[in-house]
Every structure is written in structure tokens, then in C-alpha cells.
Structure 1
Amino acid sequence: MKALSDLQLFVRAAQSSSLSEAARTLDMSPATASAAIKRLEAELGAPLFVRSTRHLRLSPEGELFLDDCRAGLEILEQAHDRLSAGHQTVCGTVSLSMPSDLGRNVVLPWLHEFQRRHPQILLRLQVSDRLTDIMRSAVDLALRYGDPPDSTLVSLAVCPDNRRVLCASPDYLARHGTPLSPRELVRHNCLCFMLSERIHDHWTFMRGSEIVEVNVRGRFQCDDGDAVRRLALAGEGVVYKSGLDVAADLRSGALVRLCPDWQTEAAPLNLICPGRRHLRPAMRLLHSFLVDRFSTVPVSG
């Protein structure tokens, strides 16, 4: 369906402001993509993009056409989903981005089971704490803590009740003592996570109407959540991690929860995608599977 692929290419190029990036995500050559856009413009009788040597932006006609094009593709996608629902075997490729600690130590073992159940689904995994720009990359879904800053993205709840947990290893506590209040954290070595150059060194706790905000410090700052957790396990300091990341360590006693009478910050886990029309049957299966698996993890904080 050449006309359909031309429309999909147009939408991808509009989202990424790059024809070459759109071509790459759709497995097209730049020359084929350029010819497709010219063909579409000829059929519509209007220029869809304003081009320069470095930039690609929508023309006024392109901006008008984009909304209608998206709506039309969504209708076609829904029709395809209804047809696919009648098929017993679901197939396709799903690109999933996920945080390093959660991905390596929690999600990845589960995905072995998911693929055994659905061998016709190919999973492309990105395991990194770098925030992937879903609108500009070849990622279908991204596991993220918190709601997306871009309101045009769709957020599907996976573990809405997840919270952060303040914890440390028994070895660290034996050497440095156990903080009984969040205020005592200023006297402890706190392990801080960095995300997009921002250091998460402002930790908040609640108890009734009381709110305590602590600016913590420590000898380690790291941009990899898995490494931060490993430092805590090694007895290097106090960590304020997602409950999902440390649930197994708390159960085994490798980490000890601190200040349990204080409520910690919410860290809901969501599955982010560009829009509901992108939710193919394989992606819906993966979402349902993850919701089921995460429901078995204790996340109180």
C-alpha cells in the first residue's frame, strides 16, 4: 500500500523534523523517502514542507494536512487492530526503552517468559537511563517513572502505586548508625542519581501534615541507576530508590528500609507511547503482561 506508507512517512518526518530520520525508522533509503514526499505533494497539489540545507519544517499546507492525516491513519490502525484481534497469533516488532536498573534486574528476566509465550513478536530493547525522545526515535514504548512532560504522549499505567524507598545496607548502618528521621540524612553519605545532568539530591518525606525536604550530599553521584543500587549494596551509603528497583534486596535483607514511619515520594511507573493509534496488538499484549508482573512486586514506601 504505497499511498499508506507515504502518509506514514509524512507523519514521521513532521514529528522528527527530519526526512532522513523518518526514512530510517521506516527502513527506507533517503532517496526513496524524498521521492515519496514529492509524490504525495504532487497528488495533493501543495508543498508539505519548507526545506533548507539543514532544516525541515511544515509548510502552512502541511500543518493543515497533518491533523487530518493523523486522524485518517488512526482510523486505519483501529480497523487493522479489529482484524488482528480475530487472529490467534500476534506478531510484529516492538521497540522498548527502559531504565537501566529496572530493565536489567527486573524486566529483562520477565521478557524471556513473554517471548516464550509469543515467539512471533520480536523485541528490540534499549536499556539506558538516558531519556529517549520517543517522538524523534524508533522507540514504540518507553517505561518511565512519572508522567511524561509532553502532553501529546500517551501514558499507560503499569505500577501506579510505586514509591521511593530510603534504604542502606546492614554493613553501612553498622558503621555509621541508623538515621531515625529524614533530617539526620545530612550526616550521612547519600548516593545521588543524575538524570540529564540534573542531580537528584533533593529528597522529600511526609508524615501527616509534616513535610521534610532534605538537600543531601555524598561522595558518589552517578548517571546509572543500576550502579547507584550496587554502591548501596556495597555499603557505600544511603540510597533513595524506586521501590521496584530494591524490592528484591529488601526481601533478602541486603538492604534495610529506613524511616518507615515517613511516607516517601511517589514514583508511578508508566508505559509511554506517541499516541493510541500506535498501540498495535503486540504492544497491547506487552502492556498487559507488564501490568500483571509488576502487580506481584511489593512497592509500599
Structure 2
Amino acid sequence: MKGLHDLDLFVRTAHAGSLSAAARQLNLTPAAASAAIKRLEAELGVVLFLRSTRRLRLTLEGESYLQHCEQALTILQDARQALHSGRQVISGTVQLTMPSDLGRNRVLPLLDQFQQQHPDVHLQLRLSDRLADIYSQPVDLALRYGEPPDSSLVALPVVTDNRRVLVAAPGYLERHGHPQTLDELAHHNCLCYMRGDYFHDRWRFFADDGQETSVPVRGDRVTDDGDAVRRWVLAGCGVAYKSTLDISQELARGHLIRLCPQWQGEPAPLNLVCADRRQLSPTVRALHQFLVSQLGD
């Protein structure tokens, strides 16, 4: 099966843009991985990668070959799963990353339930709002809001109709008033979020007729951690623009109040993302279905 292993390495290297990263995923030494790519290029009689000191780039021949390799490996994986469909076992280690607020306050208790149902499953969790590179970092799956920016990623929908929502605590509204229009946000302390260098200080809303408006906001505190925004808004520090999934329980209990309900917040669909369809093992599929059943409502 050396030929199949070489194809697998080629596909992973193409996605990661790094031979060493692909080698780590397959527990190969860089020398062994380099030899495998050279062997594949020799068999094909073409150059698949243009190499520099820092990164690999596919040639035109490599891009064409990648499409065929991905299709072939997917067919083989589907055939293998079909052979074993009668004796699927839910077990093994899953490396999962997710946003801090969603993870700590919604998903962790659900994962406890999942492991009680499937005690042979072991979880390695990363709770962070920084997007992990699932090609090069030791991560199998990622729970992410929004559509994946990389079209080569495999996205399994968990909650498709989730949106952001404008909220504040009752105590804050008693002290500062209840905004009735989006323009009134200019007079309120808005709790802002940033991801990397992106400062999320313009909040998007949609009317029932599809009209979109973007509202500039400002406040006395900014963070790159969604759980911190959650704590601030619950403490009555200001107005927040949060994923409904993150704060649905607080809304139901009256700990937070939705503002300007005549406007819908921007879409924030939740997906379970992986790098390759071959990672969709019975364990991953079971976890996906479990999350859909628990979060989909």
C-alpha cells in the first residue's frame, strides 16, 4: 500500500503547504516524507511542487493531479467504510478545538454526556477564539462559527440558522435606559471583540425586508476572548453582540434582555470542520449527530 500512502502524503502536503507539517500528521520523518514525494514525482515523470526555503507551492501539473487524488482517496475511504459498516466501533482519541465561550458554557457539559454514552472515546480539547490551523496543528476537528474561509475544508452543519443578537443585562438597562433603535447604540457602552488584528467595532443587522445596516460602536473595554464579553455583559458592564447559541440560556432565564428585536443580527452558522473526509470516522459522525441533537434546538 506504499503507493496509497504516497498519495495521502501528497494531498496532505498540498493542503498544508508544508512537507514537515504533513509528515507530522502521518508520523513520518521529514526525510522519509521528502523521499516519498520524490518517488511519486519520479513515477509520474512530472514536478508536483515548486520548493522554496519556507513553503511549497503546487505546479500546474500538481494542481491537476491533486483533484484526481482527492477523488480517488475519497472513493477508497467510502469503500472501506462500507466494508466495516456492520461493525462500527465508537472509540479512540478526538482532538477538538472550539471558541472559548461556546466551549466552556455550552459544549463541555454535552461532551461529558457523550463520553458517558461512549466511554471508549477520549477527548483532547483546545478552548480558544484563535483559529487553529487544522492542517499543521495537532487538531482533528474544529467547532467554528461562520462558513469556512478555506473551501477545501469539510464542514458538517451543526446549527445552520444561528445568528448574533444584541443583548444587555437588566441592571445595565435600569441605569442607562433601553435602546429602541440601532442609532441609540452610539450612546451606550458597547462591549467589543477582536480576532487577531480585526477589531469588530461595526455591528451588522438585517431588517425583515433584507435591508442591511452597519452600526459603528464603541465602549470602554475590548477583548479577544468571547467568554470575557459574556462575563462583562452579565455583570451589567454594557451592551454585547453575541451568538445566540452562547447566551440562549441566559435569555431564557431573564439574565439578559434582547434589544432591538425588529432587527436580525448577522448569520453565525455553527459547523464541525475537519481537513479531510477520511477523518469522518464512526466516532466523528456519532459526535456530529450528538451535537446536532443537543444544540440544533
TM-score for the superposition, normalised by structure 1: 0.89
Q: How much has 1:157 moved relative to structure 2?
A: 1.6
Match of 1:299 in 2: none
Query: What are the within-5 Å matches in structure 2 for residues 221-240 of structure 1?
Result: 221-240=222-241
The answer to whether 1:193 aligns with 2:219 is no
Q: How much has 1:20 moved relative to structure 2?
A: 0.7
Spell out, residue by residue over 1:117-147, the C-alpha distance to the aligned partner (whole angstroms, 9 max, x if none).
2233333322211122344444333222221
List gaps (5 residues or longer) in structure 2: none
Give the paired residue count.
Answer: 296
Cα 1:42–1:215 change in 2 (3 A) is: same
Q: Which amino acid aligns with 2:218?
A: R
Cα distance in 1, alignment partners of residues 223 and 232 from structure 2: 10
Match of 2:17 in 1: 17
Spell out, residue by residue over 1:241-272, the C-alpha distance to the aligned partner (whole angstroms, 9 max, x if none).
00110112222332222223433322221222
- 2:88 and 2:282 in contact (8 A); partners too: no
Match of 1:215 in 2: 216
Match of 2:84 in 1: 84
Spell out, residue by residue over 1:60-101, the C-alpha distance to the aligned partner (whole angstroms, 9 max, x if none).
443343222222211111112112321142234333221111
Cα 1:43–1:156 change in 2 (3 A) is: same
Identity over the aligned pairs, expressed in percent? 58
Match of 1:178 in 2: 178
Q: Which amino acid aligns with 2:282?
A: P
Match of 1:250 in 2: 251
User: Partner of 1:35: helix, strand, or coil?
Assistant: helix
Match of 1:7 in 2: 7
User: Partner of 1:166: helix, strand, or coil?
Assistant: strand
Spell out, residue by residue over 1:184-221, the C-alpha distance to the aligned partner (whole angstroms, 9 max, x if none).
11100000111232122222334444654321110111
| Farther off after superposition, 286-295 or 23-32 | 23-32
Q: Which amino acid aligns with 1:230?
A: R
For the aligned residue pairs, the C-alpha RMSD in angstroms reads 2.2
TM-score for the superposition, normalised by structure 2: 0.90
Cα 1:208–1:59 change in 2 (3 A) is: closer
- Runs of 4 or more above 6 Å deviation: none
| Farther off after superposition, 226-235 or 127-136 | 127-136
Cα 1:21–1:206 change in 2 (3 A) is: closer
- 1:192 and 1:218 in contact (8 A); partners too: yes
User: Partner of 1:235: helix, strand, or coil?
Assistant: coil
List gaps (5 residues or longer) in structure 1: 297-301
Q: How much has 1:8 moved relative to structure 2?
A: 1.2
Cα distance in 2, alignment partners of residues 253 and 233 from structure 1: 11
| Farther off after superposition, 94-103 or 44-53 | 44-53
